[in-house]
Amino acid sequence: MKENLKAKLIELKKEKNAVILAHNYQLDEIQEVADYIGDSLALSKIAMSVKEDVIVFCGVKFMAETAKILSPDKKVILPVIEAGCPMADMVTAEELRNVKKDYPEAAVVCYVNSSAEVKAESDICCTSSNAINVVDSIKSDQILFVPDQNLGSYVAEQIKDKEVILWQGFCIVHNRVTSQNLLHIKEKYQFAPVLVHPECRPEIVEQADFIGSTSEIIREVKKLKDKKIIIGTEKGILYTLKKQNPDKDFILLSEKLTCMNMKKTTLKDVISSLENETNIIEVDESVRKKAYDALKKMILL
């Protein structure tokens, strides 16, 4: 059954001249058929360079939107339009415009997990892998960091000479991990290193051996000699970790690390959206240009 679907997708990709991009948090069945797997920024950069006309972005809405902002001439499909990111929804452009009035001197740094409209209201974007460099590069001493308070706190800890004003957003998945979860797993696997995503709460990040984005965790794991490794980010990352490191055992810091939105996309959705060319992402051109500027500043750093 699955083999039939896979064969159908290969045909469709040829017919439509399409490429399949999958985020590290997608279901295994999606990662298995993807042409490229990665984090949102790496995938958006790939989207800019591929020769295909159609990009099927298997992830959540802000990711497909980012690809469209950077590659406006391509057709970008998000297989399940309801796959959103609750953290991205924790800041709207209007709310941001209002808060900016209270901090007229602040530079707005916006985590890519945000809508195109919010990016358009920001001075520069960042991802979880370059947030520290981005904040460090800014001349202003005051930063308004949106929307992730956990990533923002992590950055503020590293850069002491700037005032970082935190938006009160968070990732509903990473924020679920508690100190009790960490204590429990550390007791059970005493010698295993703990690698976590900076979207986790500060008390988790403080106790971790390594903090990084999905791509940084994937890179770090390759270097480790340990046979048992504790992973504190969304479960989907285990697909690549296991594939690249068959001799290592990965223990998820908590079973709560499953993003329902990332799991909404199935192989059937990829096929039907591509076949019918539905769920095409569009971004208003005036918003796109401003969001592009904020993204481009980050990419050029």
Q: How far is the CB of 65 from ligand CIZ (least distance, A)?
A: 13
From the list ligand CIZ, ligand SF4, none, pick the one residue 67 interacts with, judged by a Cβ distance below 5 to 8 Å according to partner type.
none
Task: Report the C-alpha gap between 106 and 163 in whole angstroms.
Answer: 9
Question: Which CA distances in Å does 130 have to 207, 221, 242, 300?
Answer: 21, 19, 25, 12
From the list ligand CIZ, ligand SF4, none, pick the one residue 213 interacts with, judged by a Cβ distance below 5 to 8 Å according to partner type.
ligand CIZ
Stretch that binds ligand CIZ, among 34-42, 221-229, 253-261, 284-292 (CB under 6 A): 34-42
Q: What are residue 297's phi and psi, to 5 degrees?
A: -55, -40
The secondary structure of 146-190 as a DSSP string is ESBHHHHHHHHHH-TTSEEEEPSB--TTGGG--HHHHHHHHHHST
Angle at 65 between CA 62 and CA 71, to 5 degrees: 145
Residue 145, both tokens = 């960091």
171 versus 208: smaller Cβ distance to ligand SF4:
171
From the list ligand SF4, ligand CIZ, none, pick the one residue 70 interacts with, judged by a Cβ distance below 5 to 8 Å according to partner type.
none
* Residues 194 to 253 in contact with ligand SF4, rule: CB under 6 A: 234
Q: Which of 128, 150, 240, 265 binds ligand CIZ (CB under 6 A)?
A: 128
Is the sign of the CA dihedral 229, 232, 234, 240 positive or negative? negative
**Is 126 known as a binding-site position?**
no
214 versus 273: smaller Cβ distance to ligand CIZ:
214
Q: Which residues pair with 228 in a beta bridge?
A: 249
Report which residue type is found at 196.
Answer: V
Confirm or reject binding of residue 117 to ligand SF4 (CB under 6 A): no
* Residues 181 to 220 in contact with ligand CIZ, rule: CB under 6 A: 197, 213-215
| Contact footprint for ligand SF4 (CB under 6 A) | 25, 60, 85-87, 113, 171-173, 234, 259, 261-262
Binding site feature residues for iminosuccinate: 23, 40, 111-113, 128, 197-199, 214
Binding site feature residues for [4Fe-4S] cluster: 85, 171, 259
